[in-house]
C-alpha cells in the first residue's frame, strides 16, 4: 500500500514537472515576439487611404452636375455604380486612382472630364483599421488616420471598463512578416496621465485589453 502511494506521488510530481516545462516553453515562445512600447517603431509607415466596402463616396465631375453624385455606397464586393460610369471596382484604390479611372470612362462621352472623389464615410478594409477588443467601453474597429496615437484610439472607444487590466494590454502588429506584441500601459496613460505610455498606432493594429483577474 505504501509503495502504491509512493508511486502515485512520484507520478503526480512528474506530471507537475511536465506542466511546468510546457508552461515555461510557451512563455518563452510568446516572449520572443513580445516587446515594450519603447521598442515600437518611432513612426507609422506612409499611409494612403484605400477605399473599402462600406465607404460612401462623393463623385464630383467639374461642369457636369448631372453626372456627379453624392453618398455612393461601396458594396460588399468592392464595386460602385455611378451615372454614365456604371459598375466599377472601387475597393483597394485611393480616391485619386478611382477618380482617374472614372475620367477614363467618361472621356468617351465628355471632353476632358475632371473628376474628384471624396470619401465621406470611412470604413475601409482590415488593413486600414485599428481594431480594439476586450475591456474597452465600446470595442470596435476604427478607420486609421495619419499620426493616430493610442490615446486617440482610447478616446474614440470611450476608455477602459472598470474590469480592465489596462496595464496588461498589448498592441498586436505585423512587423517584417512576424506578428509581434507590444506591451502598453493603458491605465498609466488614461488614469495616471503618463504621456510616455502613449504611442503611435499603425493601420492594421489590434489593441487587446484583457480583463482583470481581481
User: What's the sign of the alpha-carbon dihedral 94, 98, 100, 101?
Assistant: positive
Per the CB < 8 A criterion, the answer to whether 181 and 168 are in contact is: no
pLDDT, tens digit (0-9, with 9 covering 90-100), for 158-207: 999 999 999 999 999 988 888 999 999 999 999 999 999 999 999 999 99
Cell of 189: 496613460
**pLDDT at position 2, please?**
52
For 75-130, the pLDDT digits (tens) are 999 999 988 888 999 999 999 999 999 999 999 999 999 999 999 988 877 888 99
**Cell numbers found for residue 52:** 473599402
% helix / strand / coil in the chain, to the nearest 5? 35, 30, 40
Residue 122 is predicted with a pLDDT of: 84
List, as one string, the DSSP characters of 138-180.
Answer: S--EEE--TT-BHHHHHHHTT-B-TTB-GGGEEEEEEETTEEE
CATH superfamily, with its number, for domain 56-121: wza like domain (3.30.1950.10)
CB 209 within 8 A of CB 132: yes
- Cα–Cα distance measured from residue 92 to residue 42, given in angstroms and rounded to the nearest whole number: 27
pLDDT, mean of residues 46-58: 89
**φ, ψ (nearest 5 deg) of residue 84:** 70, -15
**Which of 94, 205, 195 lies closest to 157, judged by CA?**
205
pTM of the model: 0.69
H helical segments located in 33-174 = 95-106, 150-156
CA distances from 161 to 37, 130, 139, 156, 166 (A): 22, 19, 10, 14, 9
Residue 73 in contact with residue 122, Cβ under 8 Å?
no
Question: What pLDDT score was predicted for residue 44?
Answer: 59
Q: Write down the domain spans for the chain.
A: 56-121, 126-209
The single residue listed with the C-alpha cell 452636375 is: 65
45 vs 151: which has the higher pLDDT: 151
Domain spanning 126-209, CATH architecture:
Roll (3.10)
Which grid coordinates are listed for 151? 490615446
Amino acid at each position: 500500500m505504501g509503495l502504491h502511494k509512493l508511486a502515485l506521488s512520484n507520478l503526480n510530481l512528474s506530471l507537475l514537472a511536465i506542466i511546468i516545462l510546457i508552461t515555461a516553453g510557451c512563455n518563452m515562445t510568446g516572449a520572443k515576439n513580445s516587446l515594450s512600447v519603447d521598442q515600437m517603431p518611432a513612426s507609422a509607415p506612409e499611409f494612403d487611404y484605400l477605399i473599402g466596402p462600406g465607404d460612401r463616396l462623393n463623385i464630383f465631375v467639374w461642369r457636369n452636375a448631372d453626372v456627379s453624385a453624392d453618398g455612393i455606397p461601396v458594396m460588399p464586393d468592392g464595386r460602385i455604380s455611378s451615372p454614365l460610369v456604371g459598375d466599377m471596382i472601387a475597393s483597394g484604390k485611393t480616391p485619386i486612382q478611382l477618380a482617374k479611372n472614372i475620367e477614363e470612362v467618361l472621356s468617351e462621352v465628355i471632353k476632358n472630364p475632371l473628376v474628384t472623389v471624396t470619401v465621406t464615410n470611412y470604413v475601409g478594409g482590415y488593413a486600414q483599421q485599428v481594431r480594439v477588443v476586450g475591456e474597452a467601453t465600446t470595442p470596435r474597429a476604427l478607420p486609421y488616420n495619419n499620426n493616430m496615437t493610442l490615446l486617440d484610439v482610447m478616446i474614440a472607444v470611450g476608455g477602459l471598463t472598470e474590469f480592465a487590466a489596462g496595464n496588461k494590454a498589448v498592441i498586436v502588429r505585423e512587423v517584417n512578416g512576424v506578428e509581434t506584441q507590444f506591451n502598453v500601459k493603458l491605465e498609466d496613460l488614461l488614469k495616471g496621465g503618463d504621456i510616455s505610455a502613449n504611442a503611435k498606432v499603425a493601420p492594421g493594429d489590434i489593441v487587446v485589453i484583457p480583463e482583470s483577474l481581481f
